[in-house]
Amino acid sequence: MQVLEGVYLIRGEVSNVYLVRTSGGYVLIDAGTPGDPPRILSYISQLGLEPSAIRLVLLTHSHWDHAGGLKEVVLRTGARVAAHRDEVNYVRSGRGRYEGVEVDVVLEDGDDVLGLKAIHTPGHTPGSTCYLDTSRGALFVGDLVYEEGGALREMLHKYSVDPEMNRRSIARLLKYDFIHVLPSHGNPILNSGREAITNLLKELGVQLEL
């Protein structure tokens, strides 16, 4: 479904995949599980797009429910793959859970990719990355936080390699200008994303970085 002009939410079997129209073509934020490519490609077709319209897959991180569908998506679309340098080896190996792929674009914090700004937010994984669509004020946050009951929550500690670092990464988001938060689990928080992040940090007792 379209959640913002030119931004579409594709519900995967475990996590969300986002399709974003940019001036340089269409971008997927993550590729879901190994079972998700058929539904991703079907949705693309329903929009009247050819698979080749997908120029790039931007990975938030390398977990199975985000990168497991990469191999088939790349084969079907010809898209390139971009990920933070600290995730590259995990994507190549598939973490032993999915068929790994090569990373074509190795990202650093602050890199701009087709109008989307990479923000390195380690904690859930070493190379976890958020992507800020500055033209829309939309922040794609991967598993940094998730939505539940209309509010944002921090990822459960057992799923993150460094929960304290994950909290610091959440706080760092307030340095950026955004309106909407689009998580990989739960529903997007539209128009009040900044407030939702601020409220979460207050609940966690984290000092706000303004």
Tokens 């080896």 belong to: 89
User: Does 55 reside within a domain?
Assistant: yes
Could you read off the pLDDT tens digit of each residue along the chain, which spans 210 residues? Answer: 999 999 999 999 999 999 999 989 999 999 999 999 999 999 999 999 999 999 999 999 999 999 999 999 999 999 999 999 999 999 999 998 999 999 999 999 999 999 999 999 999 999 999 999 999 999 999 999 999 999 999 999 999 999 999 999 999 999 999 999 999 999 999 999 999 999 999 999 887 655
How many secondary structure helices (H) and strands (E) does the chain include? 6, 14
Phi and psi torsions of 67, nearest 5°: -115, -5
Report yes or no on 188 lying in a domain: yes
- Residue 209: the pLDDT is 56
Provide the domain limits for residue 160.
Answer: 2-204
pLDDT at 207: 73
3-state secondary structure of 184: coil
Which residue in the block uniquely carries the two structure tokens 């080749």? Answer: 52
Residue 57 lies inside a defined structural domain of this protein = yes
Structure tokens at 76: 């079907």
Q: Which helix (H) or strand (E) holds 91?
A: helix 88-93
- The Cα–Cα gap between 9 and 200 comes to 23
Residue 60's pLDDT is: 98
**Side-chain half-sphere exposure of 44, counting CA atoms within 13 A:** 26
209 falls within a domain: no
Determine, yes or no, domain membership for 210: no
Q: Are 179 and 188 in contact (CB under 8 A)?
A: no
CATH number at residue 61: 3.60.15.10
Q: Give the neighbor-by-neighbor strand order of the sheet with 16-22.
A: 2-4, 7-11, 16-22, 25-29, 54-58, 80-84, 105-107
E strand intervals along the chain: 2-4, 7-11, 16-22, 25-29, 54-58, 80-84, 105-107, 112-113, 116-120, 129-133, 138-142, 145-148, 151-154, 180-183
Evaluate whether residue 82 is within a structural domain. yes
Please state the domain count of the chain: 1
